[in-house]
């Protein structure tokens, strides 16, 4: 049974989310304060974190950064779904850059949130199940160990960036549309997420390419999407 931590200061929302998750077969714990939530997840690492953006004492982005900086892989790779208000588009994208894997805008339907949780947990399972090592000129990616190195140096990738990279490399030489990437890498198929893929691609190029403005490994296929060069 997967265990989910909810860090959300609005009591009604937190309880409502917890009730739906429990009905879907998960265990859920609620924290209403940012710093206390971070302490709780360090003490008892959950399988997934639902994180509100605006919180007392420590906000969602700071918590995200702290989790990604953890040495324990279980925490550093923890799937995070961030809750944001509709007006906070810029914050959403910043959240992706800070290592959130997905976001849900308020108001949201519990059904939608549960579907995202299920998709995220499925994706995590896929990422940690055995699969072959992927290589491309000095880049070595081990999907099972959730590790990537470039010329022997470990790469610092968020879980979403890692998933996008593995999906592209698995399909090397093949153009994938943004929606195919979202579906295969991020595990969901809803519309309107194209910009989040572009953010991940930009980050990957910055981390992997010699010249991110003239990418050689991760190519743009005009009018379609992206392709990893033929290996």
In 3D, which of 138, 132, 168 has the Cα closest to residue 153? Answer: 138
* Min dist. Cβ of residue 38 to Ca ion (A): 15
Element (H, E) at 179: helix 178-181
Residue least distant from Ca ion (Cβ): 54
Residue 50 vs 218, nearer CB to Ca ion = 50
Contact pick of 15, 27, 40, 54 for Ca ion (by CB under 5 A): 54
**How crowded is residue 21: how many other Cβ atoms within 10 Å of its Cβ?**
22
In 3D, which of 25, 130, 124 has the Cα closest to residue 78? Answer: 124
What is the C-alpha separation between 122 and 53, in angstroms, rounded? 24
Residue 9 vs 70, nearer CB to Ca ion = 9
In this chain, which stretch among 47-55, 93-101, 109-117, 193-201 interacts with Ca ion, using CB under 5 A?
Answer: 47-55
Query: Are the beta carbons of 165 and 148 closer than 8 angstroms?
Result: yes
Q: How far apart are the first and last CA of the chain?
A: 39
Kindly determine how many residues on this chain lie close enough to bind Ca ion according to the rule CB under 5 A. 3
* Min dist. Cβ of residue 103 to Ca ion (A): 14
In the block, residue with structure tokens 């549309």: 177
Residue 61 vs 181, nearer CB to Ca ion = 61
Query: Are the beta carbons of 226 and 172 closer than 8 angstroms?
Result: no
Residue 52 vs 101, nearer CB to Ca ion = 52
* Min dist. Cβ of residue 83 to Ca ion (A): 8
Write each residue from 3 to 32 as x if it is in contact with Ca ion (CB under 5 A), else as -, in one continuous string: ------x-----------------------
* Min dist. Cβ of residue 37 to Ca ion (A): 12
What is the C-alpha separation between 82 and 103, in angstroms, rounded? 4
* Min dist. Cβ of residue 28 to Ca ion (A): 17
In the block, residue with structure tokens 């929302």: 13
In this chain, which stretch among 31-39, 41-49, 53-61, 106-114 interacts with Ca ion, using CB under 5 A?
Answer: 53-61
In 3D, which of 19, 112, 102, 21 has the Cα closest to residue 60? Answer: 102
* Min dist. Cβ of residue 33 to Ca ion (A): 11
Applying CB under 5 A, which residues contact Ca ion? 9, 52, 54
């Amino acid at each position: 049974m997967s265990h989910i931590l909810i860090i959300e200061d609005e009591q009604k929302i937190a309880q409502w989310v917890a009730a739906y998750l429990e009905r879907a077969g998960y265990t859920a714990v609620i924290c209403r304060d940012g710093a206390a939530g971070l302490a709780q997840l360090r003490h008892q690492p959950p399988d997934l974190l639902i994180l509100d953006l605006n919180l007392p004492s420590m906000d969602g982005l700071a918590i995200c950064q702290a989790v990604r900086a953890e040495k324990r892989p279980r925490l550093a790779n923890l799937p995070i779904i961030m809750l944001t208000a509709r007006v906070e588009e810029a914050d959403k994208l910043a959240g992706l850059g800070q290592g959130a894997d997905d976001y849900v805008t308020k108001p949201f339907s519990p059904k939608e949130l549960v579907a995202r949780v299920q998709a995220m947990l499925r994706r995590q399972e896929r990422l940690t199940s055995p699969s072959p090592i992927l290589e491309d000129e000095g880049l070595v990616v081990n999907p099972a160990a959730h590790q990537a190195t470039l010329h022997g140096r470990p790469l610092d990738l968020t879980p979403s960036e890692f998933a996008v990279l593995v999906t592209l490399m698995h399909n090397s030489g093949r153009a994938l549309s943004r929606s195919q990437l979202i579906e295969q890498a991020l595990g969901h198929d809803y519309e309107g997420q194209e910009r989040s893929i572009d953010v991940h691609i930009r980050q990957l190029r910055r981390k992997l390419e010699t010249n991110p403005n003239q990418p050689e490994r991760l190519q743009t296929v005009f009018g379609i999407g992206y392709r990893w060069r033929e290996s």
